Amino acid sequence: MLRAASGVTQRANSVWPRDPNGDSHAHHAALRAARLWYRERRLPLIFQLFEDPRSAGLHAVLDEEGFTRQSETVVMWRSATEPARVTGRPVHPPEKPQPAVELSAEPSTEWLDLWWQADGRGGPGELATARTILTGCPSLYALVRAQDGRPAAVGRIALPPAGEAGTWGGIYGMATRPDARRQGHARRILHALLDAGAAGHVDGYWLLVTAANHGAQQLYTGAGFSEAGRYLYRQDRPKRHLTGC
């Protein structure tokens, strides 16, 4: 699957090999076609590829071609019935009442601004493209405010279409304002999204987190998530930096 979205995020602008098996000849032929497709769109050729035995042949071809390795990402999951695990120091009740987590079916301007500050690259045009990506499937958007009323953290759950059974929800867009970190905002966002998924009767959840973000991984492990696999991006002749896992 060849994906392009004006260069906004690596995931939306990379090749997703549905079946990475195949011989070297088939891989090279597909590689030539992909190079032409991305060249026509003035985008670098990037593969999103899992680190597993079935991808070994394609990895070998990309090694021969000099593709870089970057943005290693951990895929985590949990079932809808998995209990949260208590980790680290005990959690004490806050000294002041905490504002409620706000949930909406569309990303508000405040939601987008905070998320873009943490995870975005570019100007209004790129932000408009990112909003189109975010709203491409049914989702709920969570926002929590600090005591001063300013947005402190945001997150999103991508939900399956209404009425579908045996489906999963994806946690995305987790971001906290730098000066509001380590105050429990991200944890409140996460649990609000898990509760929203439970209300929608999902069977489980997945999320993606960069391998270098150990703090976020600790948060997700404490909420019952565990690692399911890893992928990375293989880029041909990089020309500009793309963001997002």
Summarised one tens digit per residue, pLDDT across range 87-116 is 444 333 344 445 689 999 999 999 999 999
Q: How many domains does the chain have?
A: 2
CATH number at residue 94: 3.40.630.30
Asked, for residue 186, whether it belongs to a domain, the answer is yes
- 147 part of a folded domain: yes
Based on the domain organization, do 56 and 161 belong to the same domain? Answer: no
Q: Check whether residue 101 and residue 35 sit in a common domain.
A: no
Q: Are residues 133 and 210 located together in one domain of the fold? A: yes
Residue 178 domain-assigned?
yes
Answer yes or no: is 158 within a domain.
yes
Q: State the pLDDT at residue 82.
A: 73
In the predicted structure, residue 142 carries a pLDDT above the cut 80 = yes
Shared-domain flag, residues 89 and 181 = yes
- Comparing 15-24, 30-39, 128-137, 195-204, which segment has the lowest mean pLDDT? 15-24
If asked whether residues 122 and 212 sit together in one domain, one would say yes
Q: Are 4 and 43 in contact (CB under 8 A)?
A: yes
* pLDDT, average across residues 21-30: 87
* One domain, residues 41 and 160: no
Q: Among all chains, which residue has been given the structure tokens 């709203």? A: 135
Contact indicator for 44, 236 with CB cutoff of 8 Å: yes
Mean pLDDT of 159-163: 78
Residue 2 lies in a domain: no
41 lies in the same domain as 130: no
Rounded to 5°, angle at Cα 32 from 28 and 38: 135
145 and 212 housed in the same domain: yes
Does residue 6 lie within any of the structural domains? Answer: no
- 69 and 137 belong to one structural domain: no
Q: What whole-number distance in Å separates Cα of residue 62 and Cα of residue 66?
A: 6
Residues 117 and 207 in one domain: yes
Judgement on whether residues 68 and 99 belong to the same structural domain of the protein: no
Q: Which of 182, 225, 231, 178 is nearest to 206 (CA)?
A: 225
56 in a structural domain: yes
d(C-alpha 199, C-alpha 88), whole Å: 29
- Tell me the β-bridge partners of 69: 234
100 in a domain, yes or no?
A: yes
pLDDT at 46 over 90: yes
The verdict on 69 and 96 lying in the same domain is no
Residue 157 lies in domain: 83-224
Computed over every residue of the chain, the mean pLDDT equals: 88
Residue 78 has pLDDT above 70, yes or no: yes
